[in-house]
Amino acid sequence: MSGGDELVALYDLGGSAVGAATRSRVRAEGLWHAAGVVLVRSGDGSSVYVHLRTPTKDVYPSTWDCWAGGVVAAGETPEGCARRELAEELGVHGVELRPLFTHVHDVGTIRCHNFAFEARWDGPFVHQPSEVVEGRWLTLGELRSWLDDPESRFVPDGRLGALEWFRREAAR
């Protein structure tokens, strides 16, 4: 299947899986779906890994993000999706995923429940060339500065999720 024909899980407003549709239909019709996303922190927790999305991404191209992740496929759990996407995008395998929270992104035709997880990993990273241009570590203070700057080229739902993470989790 091509990327637009990929079957993704449909979700209801409450965050429960209710069916499946093609990715292209989800995008075109603004259907509720879900994503599994992972924030990668250094082993000591002092830094977060951020990456620049490629200009060919179908949503938010050429923007920075601190979440590795993607759309939950039909029949897949959010955690399974998060593990798959972390391995695909950043080459990270076999790490513990700590569930964080779910945040909703409902802007325009993007209606998504983002199931957020955290992993601790000091590297190495292997970027998927079709999705990631480059990556780097930011201290928590540097990340917060990027998030607070409305001019920074940061993925909108990633920004909201990271701000929620700072509100709830950063001190852990």
Q: What is the pLDDT of residues 3-33, one digit of tens each?
A: 558 999 999 999 999 999 999 999 999 999 9
pLDDT digits (tens, 9 = 90+) for 103-155: 999 988 889 999 999 999 999 999 999 999 999 999 999 999 999 999 999 99
Q: Is position 29 annotated in a ligand binding site?
A: no
Domain 7-170 is found in CATH 3.90.79.10: yes
Q: Mean pLDDT over all residues of the chain?
A: 94
- CA–CA separation, 131 and 163 (whole Å): 23
Q: Is position 142 annotated in a ligand binding site?
A: no
